Amino acid sequence: MGLGAETRRRIAKRAAQEITKGMVVNLGIGIPTLVSDYIQPELGVMLHTENGILGMGGSPASGTEDGHLSNAGGYPVTLIQGASYFDSATAFGIIRKGYLDLTILGALEVSQQGDIANWIVPGKRVPGMGGAIDLAQKAKKVIILMNHQNKDGGSKIVHRCRLPLTVQKGANMIITEMAVFQVNEEGLELIEIMQPYTLEEVERATEATFYVSTQLTINS
For CA atoms 72, 29, 62, 60, give the dihedral sign: negative
Name the residues annotated as catalytic.
50
Whole-number Å distance between alpha carbons of 188 and 213: 10
Whole-angstrom CA distances from 30 to 107, 208, 210 are 10, 23, 26
What are the tens digits of pLDDT across the range 28-70? 988 998 998 899 889 999 999 999 999 998 889 999 999 889 8
Instruction: Please check whether residue 79 is in contact with residue 55, taking contact to mean a CB–CB distance below 8 angstroms.
Output: yes
Question: Which pTM value belongs to this model?
Answer: 0.94
Cα Rg for the chain, rounded, in angstroms?
17
Q: What is the mean pLDDT of residues 66-89?
A: 89
Please give the residue range of the domain that contains residue 194: 5-219
What are the tens digits of pLDDT across the range 168-208? 999 999 999 999 999 999 999 999 999 999 999 999 999 99
Whole-number Å distance between alpha carbons of 132 and 117: 10
CATH number of the structural domain spanning residue 128: 3.40.1080.10
What's the total number of domains in the chain? 1
